[in-house]
Amino acid sequence: MTLTRLDGHDPSRRRWLHGAMALASLAATGPFARLAGSTHWLDDPFRLGVASGDPSADGAVLWTRLLIDPHVPDGGLPPLAVPVRWEVAEDERFFRVVQTGDALARPERAHAVHVAPAGLEPDREYHYRFLCGEAVSRTGRFRTLPAPGLRVDSFRFAVASCQHYEHGWFAAHRHIAANAPSLVLHLGDYIYEGSFGERLRRHESDAPLATLDGYRARYAHYKLDPDLQAAHAACAWVPIWDDHEVANDYAGDLAIDGEDPALFHARRLATYRAWIEHMPVRAALAGGTRIFRRLAIGSLADLHLLDDRQYRDPQPCITRDRVYAGNITPDCPGRGDPTRSLLGAAQQEWLEAGLAASAARWNLIGQQTLIAPFYTRGDDGAVSVWSDAWDGYPASRERLLRHLDGLRLPNAVTFGGDVHAFHVTDLKADYAADDAPLVATEFVTSSLTTDDGDPAALARDLALNPHVRYADCSHRGWLDVTFAPERLDVRLMALADVRDPESVARTLRAYAVEDGVCGAQLAAG
Ligand code: FE
Ligand code: CA
């Protein structure tokens, strides 16, 4: 561990400032002029804030992106690598700096910076910031995870998904920041690539996103939001992507609008790159596009994060002209085909091996969408299922749930999003048998802002789905999860009004899962 105390007279810092001046003097005209002439910036290059994520017991990933104009392709910066210094301190005033380092914000990575300090103490709060010339970023905070194998008495995290910028204010993020959990688990739809429904506020452009520059500008636009920045600064995030970071309901290289698979493949990789550039994730340091990963929270929990978009087979019952149906009849041909996979073979095996090897009290699975079956009755009386969720891949669902059943894991809990509604469900290895035992407890968070759903229809459909203990699509919100060795508590948090930037939030429902007992029990709020 490096122990460096930094102040204004630190010689290494002064040397670096001279370096920045030399860089700036290269720049004479045009956008370069903003950097030229002095080491101070005319505009704050840290307008997008800071973020931390993917914590371990001895570190985390720290993120920022230098940018002056969020809505131009290069962020208004010259095509030069810009040196950035980072600091991690024990105190928020940076008197006790425990690590510092230098990084380069490179133009080919949109001047995003990812660094991964290691060698920190477990289960401890740290503060961090970035410096570039005379500019200093805001301060962020993260907590390292408890040491592997060590008993943990209590751990708290938030689960969130689906934040369409145009549909509402990010008041939920302000509440999450104020609650200061140890983690935010974000299950995707961090951006939306398109507009639909509500236009309470606007994206930076109405044009369909198709290029890397376009997606970068969309991330920048979202990240200008002060409440979102506050939630990132407040704690470490563990994000995974869902569909709207790329395109609605896509499956691998299949876009539902019939886009040419080769073109869509290229677009998909560009969008993954933009996501990785803007998220505080280890994938940014590892290279590649793998985001399924695992975090150990002492001996309390193993948290398995999945990617159910990148490796999935196409949804079933797509018509011959490649039109995706969405709602499909449960007995349509191909739906039950055991060779179709939601996770892909490699990820499935990784998940099964990780679950089998786990010695943790709780096994938590964070993934994109609803796992439990959900039958819907249309106005014409016909029953259908939603083919983009696990209902489109019943063989994958059965394989996972039978695996959990076979392991006799006492405390498996899954978290999902995507469907813009809260769901609390019983996961069973066999839904045909009424008395089949529960093998896991499922909580699906509602959207943070994105609107959807027909409350009356949802209420009617509950009769078709006795394994669903609760469902609500009337509220926007998130999950506030606190767990201990003997009990996991989940509060379904609801905003009073997503159209009000000052909206209050309340506990809509509170559930508990007891150690060794599958199934969510309604608890006193
Ligand atoms: Fe969504
Ligand atoms: Ca989604």
* 106 CA distance to ligand 1 middle (Å): 31
Compute the mean pLDDT over every residue in the chain, rounded to the nearest whole number.
Answer: 91
* 494 CA distance to ligand 2 middle (Å): 19
What is the model's pLDDT at position 208? 87
* 326 CA distance to ligand 2 middle (Å): 13
Q: Which two tokens stand for residue 26?
A: 């290269």
Q: Is the Cβ–Cβ distance between 245 and 193 less than 8 Å? A: yes
Q: Is the Cβ–Cβ distance between 88 and 118 less than 8 Å? A: no
State the ligand closest to the CA atom of 167. Answer: 1
This prediction's pTM:
0.93
Dihedral sign, Cα of residue 495, residue 194, residue 252, residue 74: negative
State the ligand closest to the CA atom of 370. Answer: 2
Residues 287-327 have pLDDT tens digits of 999 999 999 999 999 999 999 999 999 999 876 565 677 88
What is the model's pLDDT at position 4? 29
Q: Which two tokens stand for residue 388?
A: 């983009």
- The SS3 assignment for 395 reads helix
pLDDT above 70 (res 14):
no
The alpha-carbon radius of gyration of the chain (Å, integer) is 23
**Could you tell me which residue, 410 or 305, shows the higher pLDDT?**
305
Placement of tokens 């910076």 in the chain: 113
Closest CA to 46 of 127, 6, 105: 105
Residues 447-494 have pLDDT tens digits of 999 997 899 999 999 999 999 999 999 999 999 999 999 999 999 999
* 373 CA distance to ligand 1 middle (Å): 19
Output the DSSP codes for 293-334.
Answer: EEEEETTTEEEEE--SSTTPPPPSS--TT----SEE-TT-TT
What average pLDDT does this structure show over 252-279? 94
Using a CB cutoff of 5 Å, list residues around ligand 2, an ion: 189, 242-243, 418
Residues 319-354 have pLDDT tens digits of 656 567 788 989 988 999 999 999 999 999 999 999
Cα separation of the two ends of the chain: 44
What is the model's pLDDT at position 87? 98
Residues 345-402 have pLDDT tens digits of 999 999 999 999 999 999 999 999 999 999 999 989 999 999 999 999 999 999 999 9
* 116 CA distance to ligand 1 middle (Å): 30
State the pLDDT confidence band at 48, using cuts at 50, 70 and 90. Answer: very high
State the ligand closest to the CA atom of 163. Answer: 1
Residues 151-167 have pLDDT tens digits of 999 999 999 999 999 99
